Amino acid sequence: MDLLKYNEAKETWQEIAQGAEEANIPYSFELEIYKKLLSRFHLGSYYYYIFNVGTVEMEFVSNEVESVMGWDKSVFSVEYVMANIHPKDRAHFILYEQEVTSFFAKLSPEEVLKYKVSYDYRVRGKDGVYKWILQQVTTIQTNEKGAVIRVLGVHTDITHLKTEDKPADLSFIGLEGAPSYFKVLSAKGKRNITAHSLFSNREREVIKLALAGNSTAEIAALLHLSHHTISVHRKHILRKSDCKTFVELGTKALREGWV
């Protein structure tokens, strides 16, 4: 691994934590609460983790890391992940993390908890094969000044949805009614100043559940809506995305940062 890249990333994470004393307080978390948050992320096989931004340490990783990556959870660390990122993807990983720090620095303390960061890159599994991993991260602990203390991250294997070896642009997805900012920065550093949300919050929920393999009836039950309402949402989604099927939508949604 390029040590300079790791040190650069470490400095970025410590900057967003703003030297908060809370980072050194032993965490006490109710795992069931965090598991409920996974509904924000699920698109396929995944594992999740808790990262202490201030101390730059992984404090928890789920057992699924073994089935997804083949890694023993005991070796899982920031350094280990970065060492296994594809060499061609390390530069945009650092670039995106720096942009994340800049974005969160502009948020009020109340807004910090209302954003999910989304982008992807290739990671080498234990078998030596690279997989496209969708990384989605949301803040789960902050302080009164808005410093990011701990985040919940999810790594999802989206290899089956990628049609080209091209990373998705960085997106900030608003939660609880907060505005979303899609494709704000490309892997080459190109900014999109017109990034906006193409879909409503409800439509994004339907997209996420559909891409996870749920039928119209199952989505209706999960969202407590009628079968007809979900069918209408699906039609509107395909029309807005200019896609003919949800299979086509899956690839485009990842490329455009819609989920």
Residue 103: how many other CB atoms lie within 10 Å: 17
Largest CA distance in the chain: 54
C-alpha 72: how far from chain center: 22
- Pairwise CA distance, residues 59 & 49, whole Å: 8
More confidently predicted of 91 and 9: 91
Residue 55: how many other CB atoms lie within 10 Å: 15
The pLDDT of 228-247, averaged and rounded, is 88
* Residue pair 164/144 in contact by the 8 Å Cβ criterion: no
φ/ψ bin of 243: left (φ > 0), alpha (ψ from -120 to 50), beta (otherwise): beta
Q: What's this model's pTM, rounded to 2 decimal places?
A: 0.69
The pLDDT of 63-81, averaged and rounded, is 94
Three-class SS state of 232: helix
Q: In this model, does residue 61 exceed pLDDT 90?
A: yes
Q: pLDDT, tens digit, for every residue of 84-132?
A: 999 999 999 999 999 999 999 888 888 999 999 999 999 999 999 999 9
Q: In this model, does residue 160 exceed pLDDT 70?
A: yes
Three-class SS state of 153: strand
pLDDT of residue 176: 82
Domains 3-185 and 201-256 share a fold: no
Contacts of 151 (CB under 8 A, 6+ apart): 50, 51, 53, 137, 138, 139, 140
- pLDDT more than 70, % of the chain: 79
More confidently predicted of 144 and 139: 139
Instruction: Tell the CATH topology of 201-256.
Output: Arc Repressor Mutant, subunit A (1.10.10)
Per-domain residue ranges for the chain? Answer: 3-185, 201-256
Instruction: Please measure the distance between the N-terminal and C-terminal CA atoms of the chain and give it in whole angstroms.
Output: 30
Q: pLDDT, tens digit, for every residue of 205-234?
A: 898 888 888 899 999 999 999 999 999 999
Beta bridge partners of 173: 116
φ/ψ bin of 56: left (φ > 0), alpha (ψ from -120 to 50), beta (otherwise): left
- Pairwise CA distance, residues 201 & 203, whole Å: 5
Beta strands 57-61 and 46-52, pairing class: antiparallel
Instruction: Tell the CATH topology of 3-185.
Output: Beta-Lactamase (3.30.450)
**Residue with token string 């039950």:** 221
**Residue with token string 């993807």:** 89
How long, in residues, is the chain?
A: 259
